[in-house]
A and B are shown apart, each in its own frame.
Chain A
Amino acid sequence: NAGVTQTPKFQVLKTGQSMTLQCAQDMNHNSMYWYRQDPGMGLRLIYYSASEGTTDKGEVPNGYNVSRLNKREFSLRLESAAPSQTSVYFCASRGQGADSYNEQFFGPGTRLTVL
């Protein structure tokens, strides 16, 4: 049981390049999330998916797109990277049911630098 996995772990892009961050979970969770972490700002929600086939904007969605490929996988795409998107990106998933108390499980993160 790997939990939440993310690829790649590190990435360097030039301004204007595109890339997709991959996330997968093996816990049969319905909900998945993408966050970015910046110094002094905690984690901010970019997009989330409450269930397969649905996606919704979070706090900071501009410049990003997402795809919920199936129940396991939720990808984040940067179409034209900008230096302001330099950050650490975390994927998370959430269990369901009354006992979950909205606990989210996090992947190890992707450190992205945009030059």
Chain B
Amino acid sequence: GDSVTQMEGPVTLSEEAFLTINCTYTATGYPSLFWYVQYPGEGLQLLLKATKADDKGSNKGFEATYRKETTSFHLEKGSVQVSDSAVYFCALSLGAQKLVFGQGTRLTINP
């Protein structure tokens, strides 16, 4: 079946460090790909998305490129801030109705 695998957390970095959170997927067709972020005590918010191969999604300094050849959608940010501390979820959507989520990666940024 369709699935998403994210790198294991938790991830702890210092402020201004470079961030990569790996995400790979398995799907029978050509999915749309998403990164969602969950701040403490809140629901999930869409961070960025990409709908076809080689598309780059970007928002708030975060970027991810849809790589069909490696079935990956890794999240990157050049210089993280304390306010980026959150749980990040990679997800895919093939049909009209369902999102399939990875297990989430907890990120903590220390000042």
Interface residues of A (CB under 8 A from B): 4, 31, 40-45, 48, 50, 56, 58, 90, 92, 94, 101-109
Contact = CB atoms under 8 A, between A and B. Distances in A.
Interface of B: 4, 32, 34, 36, 41-46, 49, 51, 89, 93, 96-99, 101-104
Contacts of B102: 42
Contacts, number: 53
B89 A43 contact: yes
Nearest to B99: A104
Contacts of A107: 43
5 contacts: A31-B96, A42-B103, A56-B97, A104-B46, A105-B46
Given A42-B102, A56-B97, 11 more contacts: A42-B89, A42-B103, A44-B101, A45-B99, A102-B32, A102-B99, A103-B34, A104-B46, A106-B43, A106-B45, A109-B42
A22 to B, nearest CB: 15
A101 B45 contact: no
A103 B43 contact: no
Contacts of B45: 106
Nearest to B9: A40
Given A42-B103, A42-B104, A101-B32, A58 B98 contact: yes
